[in-house]
Amino acid sequence: MPAFLLYLVHTLFPPDTRQPTELGADFMILVTGIGIVFILTRYQKWRWLWREWLTTVDHKRIAIMYLIAAIAMLFRGGVDALMLRTNLALPNVRPIGALEYNEVFTTHGTIMIFFMAMPFIFALFNAVIPLQIGSRDVAFPRLNAMSYWLFAFGAILFNISFVIGGSPNAGWTGYPPLTEVAFNPGPGESYYFLSLLIAGIGTTITGINFLVTIIRMRAPGMTLMRMPMFVWSVLTTSALIIFAFPPLTVALALSLLDRTFGSSFFTLGHGGMPMMYVNLFWLFGHPEVYIVILPAFGIFSEVVPTFSKKRLFGYTTMVISLVSIMFLAYGTWVHHFFTMGAGPTVNAFFGLSTMLIAIPTGVKIFNWIFTMWGGRIRITVAMLYQMAFIPTFVVGGATGIMLSVVPADYQLHNSYWVVAHFHNVLIGGTVFGLLSGLYYWWPKMFGFILNERQGKVAFWLFVIGFWVTFLPQYLLGLEGMTRRMYTYPFGFGWHELNLISTLGAFIMGAGFLALVYNIVWSLRYGERDLTGDPWNGRTLEWSLPSPAPEYNFARIPVVHGVDEFWAMKESGDTLANHLRPQDVKTLELPKNTGMPFMLGLSFFVGGFGMTFLWWPIAIFGGLGVVACLLYAAFDYNDKKHLPADVIRHTERSWGRLQA
């Protein structure tokens, strides 16, 4: 028995994880965990947690859970970033060693893309899309909950790698042969493959769910060309997800087979082809960057008209450019590995296709500027992020065009110049967009407004910190600093720029703290949104109370044009002032279910078993998955009725029902 325990401790906590930072993290997790359990038990909230949240199929609640996860992961990824920057602040001063540095940049990248940006966009999908298209829910509410729990348990599986068994350390791309079991023993890379596979299933399902929702569930009269631009962006994003995630799934699954069962798809020996992994990964990876940027484009297309008090300039060209970006996104992936040397023809083709994407993107930038032109602009936090986005994203896009020039790429590849470029577009584009959307839709999600003054402090810290961090990195790249270095000697002329960059990273960290303070403060003292329309909005979600009731619309609106709610307000004919009691019908709503949570848990148990090659546990988890799916297939009792009287009562309490 003690031998067994010894084996367990040695496997779960191998010597190289017994570092001060990781023991500190272990301790923090333990304390936080005990704290949460204590509070839930003390205030008898377990039943509430299970009934109201863990089993919910309501898209608005799923949105909130995605958002909480995204902000938590932004914290984790941000702490990783600060560790990386601290290590590079001064030459030869390295608080963390090479191995741990590899682990930290791997988890930083993976978490920020898969477990921060993705849930953040899904939070806004869920919070906004059904309301904007005048629908009571998404097409498949249970699948929606499944998506969330697969994502959540994938994220947990990835995050525990830091404290149990050892983190992945081959970069967020996980290229072979570095991920081969011969060169990278231990559970780290298996954690990476399994958690991304599990979360990837959830993401694919979300893509399908929202594509179907947008195509089939729009309110009567809402033709495709009357959809709000955010809905268009989600439609194109969903299409990208559906076609982009399968290559990733294939690449990860085959790599996992190589590691676990000794196959040789991507191995160096036995006829494997490591570069095929790279090809498949970027077949997913390039559409992925558009998956995270297109929703941001959609958010800006909502924020700009609202705060400029003008219709979006060039609606049709906006749609055309979204759809052409969607198509072009599939045709550029080789620019991530020009230096593989596929030959001049291949590289020239993909260089040109990359440059082409700048055209529709430029159209969008100009359309936003023309929307603001001559508008009555209100400088809110959401609008500030948009105004910071335009110059930032233009710089990021321009440096991207420079990278698409193949000979230049051969010089810049793998340098800090690339690091600066992709942070420029991912933070300047995606994160600014998501934060803009956060401030814009927060009242609709939670029923109160985030304090604007505090929000502006967070904004300035974040944006100034961003430029101080990443502008020096362009110069460092030109001076020859390569990415993923864990330290550097004195005398290369790199130390001043690195110190400035680290300083900027801490300013961004302060911006994050200000954001969290803003949320916590506003939760207690923030202005309540009693009208449901705090920004004088233009689209249907603002026609509902904040937060929207479980059924969203007591009566489904009929849509006559773009900016339907604006037209309603112009004509004085809002949803509320002509809802008569006899218009309200008893509604059929999806019933809460514990199945999605149990399915996620089963995947987690199975994934954990496979990570450590403990087959009984893996098989147990797999059986759990099958059991959950069988239960879901034969559970016919999945609907509940919401009586008309309850709806009438709710609407009357909002003053939205005519006598």
- Which of 206, 146, 150 lies closest to 593 in space, CA to CA? 146
Residue 406 Cβ vs other proteins, minimum distance, rounded to whole Å? 14
Q: Which residue has the tokens 């525990």?
A: 160
- To which residue do tokens 């439609």 refer? 235
- Which of helix, strand or coil describes residue 447? coil
> 121 and 295 in contact (C-beta within 8 Å)?
yes
**Dmax of the chain from CA atoms?**
80
Nearest CB to other proteins, comparing residues 283 and 387: 283
Region of 279-287, 399-407, 439-447, 650-658 interacting with other proteins (CB under 8 A):
279-287
The letter for the amino acid at 653 is S
Q: Does 643 bind other proteins (CB under 8 A)?
A: yes
Q: Residue 146 CB, nearest distance to other proteins (Å)?
A: 17
Query: For residue 269, what are the contacts with CB-CB under 8 A and spacing of at least 6?
Result: none
Q: Tell me: does residue 330 bind other proteins (CB under 8 A).
A: yes
Angle of helix 118-132 relative to helix 188-216, nearest 10 degrees? 10
Of 343 and 572, the one with the shorter C-beta distance to other proteins is 343
- Helix (H/G/I), strand (E/B), else coil: 448: strand
Q: Which of 365, 367, 368, 374 is nearest to 309 (CA)?
A: 374
Q: How far is the CB of 612 from other proteins (least distance, A)?
A: 26
Q: How far is CA 415 from CA 143, 277, 419, 476, in A?
A: 42, 22, 7, 8
Q: Which of residues 84-123 bind other proteins (CB under 8 A)?
A: none
Minimum CB separation of residue 585 from other proteins in Å reads: 4
Q: How far is CA 155 from CA 115, 162, 196, 586, in A?
A: 6, 12, 8, 39
Closest of 231, 188, 194 to residue 210, by C-alpha: 231
576 to 595, contacts with other proteins by CB under 8 A?
A: 585-588
Verify binding: residue 176, other proteins, rule CB under 8 A.
Answer: no
According to DSSP, the β-strands at 587-590 and 639-642 are antiparallel
Positions in 136-175 near other proteins (CB under 8 A): 136, 139
> Does 220 help bind other proteins (rule: CB under 8 A)?
yes
Which residue's entry shows tokens 């949570």?
A: 597
Nearest CB to other proteins, comparing residues 145 and 240: 240
| C-alpha distance across the termini of the chain, in Å | 74
- CB closer to other proteins out of 499 and 589: 589
Choose, by CB under 8 A, the member of 243, 460, 506, 620 that binds other proteins.
243
| Residue in the structure block whose two tokens are 């196959």 | 263
Closer to other proteins by Cβ: residue 52 or 645: 645
List 644, 646, 652, 654, residue binding other proteins (CB under 8 A):
644
Q: Whose Cβ is closer to other proteins: residue 136's or residue 421's?
A: 136
Judged by CB under 8 A, the number of residues near other proteins is 30
Q: How far is the CB of 412 from other proteins (least distance, A)?
A: 21
Q: Which listed residue (268, 276, 323, 408) binds other proteins by CB under 8 A?
A: 276
- Residue closer to other proteins by CB (options 262, 480) is 262
N residues, the chain: 659
CB of 19 to other proteins, least distance (A): 41
Letters for 596-625 (x = contact with other proteins by CB under 8 A, - = none) are: ------------------------------
Q: Name the minimum Å distance from CB 430 to other proteins.
A: 24
Give the shortest CB-552-to-other proteins separation in angstroms. 12
CA Rg, the chain, in Å? 25
Which range binds other proteins by CB under 8 A, 175-183, 272-280, 499-507, 510-518?
A: 272-280
Residue window 337-376: x/- pattern of binding to other proteins, with contact defined by CB under 8 A = ---xxxx--x------------------------------
CA 287 from centre of chain: 14
Contact indicator for 589, 550 with CB cutoff of 8 Å: yes
Of 129, 157, 217, 475, the one binding other proteins (CB under 8 A) is: 217
C-alpha distances out from residue 537 to 83, 306, 561, 565, Å: 41, 6, 15, 7
Comparing CA positions, the residue from 425, 440, 355, 417 lying closest to residue 394 is 425
3-class SS string, 242-268: HHHHHHHHHHHHHHHHHHHHCCCCCCC
CB of 211 to other proteins, least distance (A): 9
Closest contact distance (angstroms) between CB of 588 and other proteins is 6
Residue 548, helix vs strand vs coil: coil
Q: Out of 77, 166, 176, 247, name the contact with other proteins by CB under 8 A.
A: 247
Q: Which residues bind other proteins (CB under 8 A)?
A: 135-136, 139, 216-217, 220, 243, 247, 273, 275-276, 279-280, 283, 330-331, 334, 340-343, 346, 585-588, 636, 641, 643-644
